[in-house]
Amino acid sequence: MADIPYLSSKTELDDYIEQCDALILYFTAVWCGPCRAIAPVMQQLYSTHTNVEIVKVDLDTQRQIVSQYKITAVPTFVALQKGKEVDRIQGANVEKTYQMVKTLSEKEPQSKRRDTNASTSGATSGASENDSQAVEKYAGKGHKLLNKTVLFGEFEALNALPVKGNTDLKNIVREKPDSSDTGIYSDADSQLLVHVPLTNVCKVSSILIKAKKHENTQLPDKIKVWANRTSIISFEDTESINALHSETDIDGWDDQGWYELKLKFVRFQKVTSLDLLLEGEDEDEHTVIDRILIIGLDGEAKNQGKIEKLDHDH
């Protein structure tokens, strides 16, 4: 059974509500100890009650939804029946949470989970058509798009400005960007630094970079990648700390503007974050990128706690 998905936007929530008569919003945060403790129980309930859709809502990145449901602590579980709230639990109470899921399942026995229209066994679930085509082209067998696991509350980009107006820089890695203009470019010189933290411990096989030239910009000519840093690497440290992966004189962008950084899989087995330095050939020109897609295998949540299995009959 697949892992409980993360909600990526208010639009996606509306889609869940429209499709799922039995839906539980699972408000959580990666720093929350009780959230980690109850995570295995929620995964078990997700596996056994297949007519109930459960979706995680990250407290730090989905502030609009958190405000909408007046969430003041995590974990909080909100049960929706045909879009209307019918129950709410605050705290990691295993017995009450089990009863919530069981009751909702019994009330809506014909309810179905959201149809993601996924292809290649869910490898591109939720992605745009262009992103999906790139993932299908470059992802290995069984590997999928991991951008839904990005921890946006800790995402950083240094020396970066949006190509269009006040577009959110985080759109560069969002599975479902809230704008069609996702590009960023280097500000003062040719170097861009991006820190992409993940909610789960993942195995990363490749990183796809999409870029197209805009006026007075250049494509990346050199890319370095580091893993498992707790905060963004400094420009100074990119010269002294060895990267796990490095490419120079980059060429071979495909006709859709994608370039694949094919990583040595053994070096990226337990990844909790990625740092990327992207640099153009001319140090006086702006370097531009439009998308970053992370490909690999999803894993368990960081520091996930353990809790005994439920012994209830289902």
Of the residues 7, 25, 30, 35, only one is catalytic, namely 35
Catalytic status, residue 202: no
Q: Is 257 left (phi over 0), alpha (psi -120 to 50) or beta?
A: left
Q: Taken in order 30, 34, 35, 40, is the CA torsion positive or negative?
A: positive
Distance CA 194, CA 144 (A): 21
Of the residues 2, 17, 32, 307, only one is catalytic, namely 32
Give kind and range of the element (H or E) at residue 286.
strand 286-289
43 in Cβ contact with 2 (< 8 Å): no
Distance CA 312, CA 127 (A): 37
- Helix, strand, coil share of the chain (percent; to 5): 25, 30, 45
Catalytic status, residue 32: yes
Residues annotated as part of the active site: 32, 35
